Amino acid sequence: MCIEIKNISKTYVESEALGTRIAILDNINFTVDSGCFVSIVGPSGCGKTTLLKIIAGLITPNQGWAKLQGEDIQLGDERVGMVFQEYALFPWRTLIRNIEFSLEVKGFSRSQRRSAAIEFINEFGLSGFEHRLPQELSGGMKQRAAIARTLINKPKVVLMDEPFASLDSQTRNEMQDFLLSVWHDREETILFVTHNVDEAVYLSQKIIVLSPRPGRVLEIFDIDYPYPRDRTSPEANRIRKKILELISSQKKNVSTVS
């Protein structure tokens, strides 16, 4: 077992004066095996990103805990890397200097960090763009650079918060295949947040479906058909249909209650 999530709940204070609170997550429990690719899906506002930030050590839950290999995850835990939707590249640094940034902070020599960055640049198909600024790169190239900047730290777990949401459909499909190839080669554990059920089915070995806020685990789907996958195969369509029907039924229940 790599990640264990136990009884996690998170509530935010909406108004100190009125004493009102908003429950975001409610009693979340699941485990993730080492080297597994897991997606988290659910309606907007159900706490997917909050859950990811708790696992990253960026937010403290009101209840419960997240452990990695049996140990609590702390802020700045080097075993965990995170890739954001908005790339988070420094606009004044070239591609290669963005990728090597964390090694620079850690005090690696220029030759050490440059050698490591070039290795990723070659592997990720970014050769020839080493000295371009982020605004000179395509969306797919920016996201490849962001992934490289995370993986250069050799994390055990990679958390990805809708990393392909801003890409056009063709680039998004290309990036999904790219990510799978990187994962198959390197075998990091990946937790991947997405609104796109098709994407989750195409990528994942396991899909965790959350309810509308406060997010609860509705069901965990094991996706056991082999890679490479056909996006339109009967198996993919069957799983996608079950997940979409589950999410849709929850939305109807919320509408009825309200």
Query: Which pLDDT score is estimated for 157?
Result: 95
pLDDT over 80 (residue 253): no
CA distances for 125 relative to 71, 93, 122, 165, 218, angstroms: 36, 19, 5, 21, 39
For the stretch 38-83, pLDDT in tens is: 999 999 889 999 999 999 999 999 999 999 999 988 888 889 999 9
Is position 165 within any domain?
no
Is position 138 within any domain?
yes
Domain that residue 142 falls in: 80-154
pTM of the model: 0.91
Same domain, yes or no, for 6 and 121?
Answer: no
Say if CB 24 and CB 214 are below 8 A apart: yes
Say if CB 225 and CB 240 are below 8 A apart: no
Same domain, yes or no, for 86 and 119?
Answer: yes
Query: Which pLDDT score is estimated for 86?
Result: 79
CA dist., res. 125 & res. 203, Å (int): 21
Cβ-proximal residues to 198 (8 Å cutoff; 6+ apart), any chain? 231, 236, 240
Domain boundary among 124, 154, 184: 154
Same domain, yes or no, for 1 and 22?
Answer: yes
For the stretch 90-117, pLDDT in tens is: 999 999 999 999 899 899 999 999 999 9
Taking residues 123-132, what's their average pLDDT?
A: 94
**% residues pLDDT > 70 (the chain):** 95
Same domain, yes or no, for 194 and 258?
Answer: yes
Same domain, yes or no, for 103 and 137?
Answer: yes
Same domain, yes or no, for 2 and 70?
Answer: yes
Query: Which pLDDT score is estimated for 249?
Result: 87
For the stretch 199-251, pLDDT in tens is: 999 999 999 999 999 999 999 999 988 999 999 999 999 999 999 999 988 76
SS (H, E, C) the chain: CCEEEEEEEEEEEEECCCCEEEEEEEEEEEEECCCCEEEEECCCCCCHHHHHHHHCCCCCCCEEEEEECCEECCCCCCCEEEECCCCCCCCCCCHHHHHCHHHHHCCCCHHHHHHHHHHHHHHCCCCCCCCCCHHHCCHHHHHHHHHHHHHCCCCCEEEEECCCCCCCHHHHHHHHHHHHHHHHHHCCEEEEECCCHHHHHHHCCEEEEECCCCECEEEEEECCCCCCCCCCCHHHHHHHHHHHHHHHHHHHHHHHHC
